[in-house]
Every structure is written in structure tokens, then in C-alpha cells.
Structure 1
């Protein structure tokens, strides 16, 4: 089994327990009664101009690095992200490998006024209804974990609920599948899901396959402003950053520095093309 297979196996087991405790009809009712979602496409679309959007992540641990940060107060961390200029807050809710929870999502949603991404491994429509019921505005759909039929159905449900989806890709074939599904936000993750190794060059090789008008997000591998500049120079409208922020003493200042680096790279790229 790949790392992704192992994670999804655990996700399905945990989902079955949540579903037993709270049936889908109850989750649907809560979702339909929740506050209206915030448009994440619009929030990230600023990256299609001269600036670069930052999706800042509340992330305690990961399969590749283990424990990253304690994060006793995810709401306070998210608020600092918002002060730094983050466009979207990403909240890990997968428990076994990432130490996240829906309680983290609730806390963050109550603390910020910008879009919130429920970052998990979506394999069932229940999770999309659940995300909306807990106030999420965006969900993650990983192409490698879904059939084309599932991807289309989950995108349709997401749009039905007024939400956005980040459709995550890792290969040329996955980018083509995401484009065929008419995804409006496509993430290119430079981490190999089989080995967990990082290859930052993957982004430049895949980003050009995404049509104009689509928001392109660079995921994984951001260590510093230099990496952000490289991604922006290769066409990223946004970057998703977790580890580099949760391990920093001043995440707000780091986000601001990342945005400036992205803006500079995009401006330089535009000047070169002109």
C-alpha cells in the first residue's frame, strides 16, 4: 500500500464511526442551516493580478516530518495568519497522521473572517456536507484518491453548497483530469504521495498545463521566501504553506514576506514577458 492508501484506509474507518454517531441527514440539516460560505475563488483570484495569495495552514504534524508544532490554540494561530495577510486558512482535520480535528475547524472558523479550507482526504460526500456543517468554505479533492465520476460528483456537490474545491494534482495525467472536470482551482502538490519526497521542479513542469482563468496553487516544499518566489515565477497564483509557518515565531511577518516575494517575482516575470 502507498502512504495515500494507508491514510485513506484510516480516514474511512474514522468516517464510519462519525457517521454512526451522526447520520448524514443530521449533517445535511446542519450544513443547510449554517452561515453562507465565503467565496475562496475570489479571495485567491487576487493572485491572478500582480500579487500572490497565501493559504496558511494550521498543521500539527505530518507523515513525512512527524510532530511539527503543539498548537494549543488554533484560533489564535489562525488570527495571526489573517493579520499577516493570508487569503485562506487551511485546517487539517485528519486525526491519525496530522493530529487535526473538526474541533480545530470550528475554533478557526469562529476566529477569522476569511475563507477556511477543511483539508482532509475526501472520499465520501458525507465529508463535504460535514465540512459545510462546520463552517468550511473550501474542501480538498485529491485526484489520485478519486475516480473521474467521484471527482465530478464531489465538485457538483461542492458548488451546490456554494463552496469551492481545491482539486489537488501530482502528475500530468491528474492535471488533465482536473481540467476535464472543469475545476476552477487546481493545486499542484510537489510531494510524491508514494515516497513523500519533494521535487519543487514538478510545479513548473505541470503549471503550464492549467488553462488561464483557473487559480493555480503551489503546494508543499515552501521553506522560505525564495521558494515562494520560484513558485510565483513559474505561474503560481497562490501557495499553500504549513510547516514554515507553524515553526516560525512570527507567522504573520512570514506571510507578509512570502506575499512580497511572490509579488516581486510575478512583477519581474511580467516585465520580462513585456
Structure 2
């Protein structure tokens, strides 16, 4: 059983409990009553040509499977506001409970505090989670190609668009990128962390960048520990980066964000 398999098994158990408490028809009703989603594509596109630097999806991340506890985030709303002040283009909030110590309560707190597009960062394995994300005000959901078959990937992406949201479609290999392109992903992320082993290879993004179509929003995920790494991703053509650990561990996330964007300008 890979790490990804183990995480998904826990996600399914937790999902069953939430669905028992709030059945799918009620969640669909709540999603339909949510305020319209923000346009995440517009917020993230053009980072390669942005004179102010690469776009940043800043993440509220308490823990990770590979490193355990990362930060004691007493006020996720304040962290979200710091990200907004620092120039983030979108904010991601982990909601997976067992390995990342996340919650929808964290998501709700940040959603109420900021006006940026928000990614509900979780392991999507059922349509229920997509309606749930919309009901909580999400503008983006995460679809991990390695966790879904072709039919699920296509159906989940279609549902996401029907609900007015977008999806960050995450790939790790050329084959997964091809599958994402086949379903017309608009935002395509390359995660340099292998979720089956948790190994990180920052050079993976540059190796796979040639397989990313020009028309998609290109997102480099994981491996961001310094401004030098941001330069590397920007030089390889990323429109945006997704970064959590380096920000939650930094004493001044606003300053770190500004340094990252400045580094991406230098990469040009």
C-alpha cells in the first residue's frame, strides 16, 4: 500500500461520516446557495509574463505526512490575511484531517477573512467532496490524476466546471500530464513530490515542463524552500507556484511572498 493509498483510505472513512451527517442532496442544496465562485484562472494566468513576478498559491498547512507538525497556526484567518497582504494570487487550505491536521473549519475561517480565490486542498475521491467544497465557498478543488481513473477525472472536472469552480489537476509523470490534457484541464500542476513515496525532486518540474501545453495555467507544486527554487521554477516556465511549508515556517510570510515574487522576476 503506497502513502497515497493509505491517505485515500482514511479520506474515504472520514467522508462517509460527513455524508452520514449531511446527506448528498442537502450538500447539493447548500452548494447551489453559495455565493458565485471567483475566477481562479484569471487570478493565476500570465505569471510567465507578469512584470511583478510569478503568481503564488499560498497554503495554510499545519502538518505533512513526511515531516509531521509544521506550525501551530492559532489563527488561520490571520495567516490568510497575511498572504493576501503579501501579494498571493490565491490561498490553499488543507482540509484532510489525519495526515495534514486540516479541517473545513480552517477553510471557513480563511474564507471569511479574504477575497482571493481559494483552493480546498484535499484528496478528491467522490462527487460529494466537490459539492461540499462549493458549499464552503471554494473556488478551486484538487484533482490528483494518480488517485483517479479516466472516467472519474473527466466526470469530476466536468462537475467542478458546472458548479462554476476550477480544478487544479495535479500530475507527477508524462503519462499523467497526458491524461490531464485529454480531459481539457485548465490549470495543470506538476507536483515534484511523489505522493506514493513522498520523495521530492525539484528538478522534476523542468523535465516535465515541455509536456505542458501553452494554453494551460502551469503550476509548480512542492519543493519551494528558497527564492532560488522559485527562480528555477520561473525559469522553467511556471505561471504559478504552490507553497505552504516555507511560508508557515517563516516568521514573516508577507516578506517571504514578496521575496519569492522578486526572485521570479530575476529568473527572466
- TM over 0.5, yes or no? yes
Shift of 1:194: 2.2
Aligned counterpart, 2:138: 136
| Structure 2 match to 1:199 | 201
Residues 51-104 of structure 1, C-alpha deviation per residue, up to 9 Å, x if partnerless?
Answer: 310000000000011000010110000000000000000000000000000001
Corresponding residue number in structure 2 for 1:40 = 40
1:181 to 180, 183, 197: 183
- Answering whether residue 11 of structure 2 is matched by residue 11 of structure 1, we say yes
SS in 2 for 1:122: coil
Which of residues 66, 73, 77 in structure 1 aligns to 2:68?
Answer: 66
**Is 1:113 equivalent to 2:115 in the alignment?**
yes
- Residue 99 of structure 2 corresponds to which residue in structure 1? 97
Task: Give the count of matched residue pairs.
Answer: 266
- 1:48, 1:255 → 2: CA distance? 17
CA RMSD of aligned residues (A): 0.7
Unaligned runs of 5+ in 2: none
1:14-43 alpha-carbon deviations (Å, 9 max, x no partner): 000000000011111111101110000000
SS in 2 for 1:47: coil
| 2:213 corresponding residue in structure 1 | 211
SS at match of 2:204: helix
1:263 offset after TM fit, Å? 2.0
Offset at residue 195 of structure 1 (A): 1.7
Of the structure 1 ranges 190-199 and 137-146, higher mean CA displacement relative to structure 2 is found in 190-199
Question: Contact 1:82–1:114 at 8 Å: present in 2 too?
Answer: yes
Whole-angstrom CA distance in 2 between matches of 1:203 and 1:62: 21
Dislocated runs of 4+, deviation >4 Å? none
Length-normalised TM-score, structure 2: 0.98
Q: Runs of 5+ in structure 1 lacking a partner?
A: 269-274
2:28 aligns with 28
SS in 1 for 2:134: helix
Contact 1:52-1:232 at 8 Å conserved across structures: yes
SS class of match (1:118): strand
- Which residue of structure 1 aligns with residue 232 of structure 2? 230
**Secondary structure in 2 aligned to 1:55?**
strand
Deviation per CA, 1:153-197, whole angstroms, max 9, x where unpaired? 001000001101000000110001001111010000001122211
Conserved? CA contact 1:48–1:215, under 8 Å = no
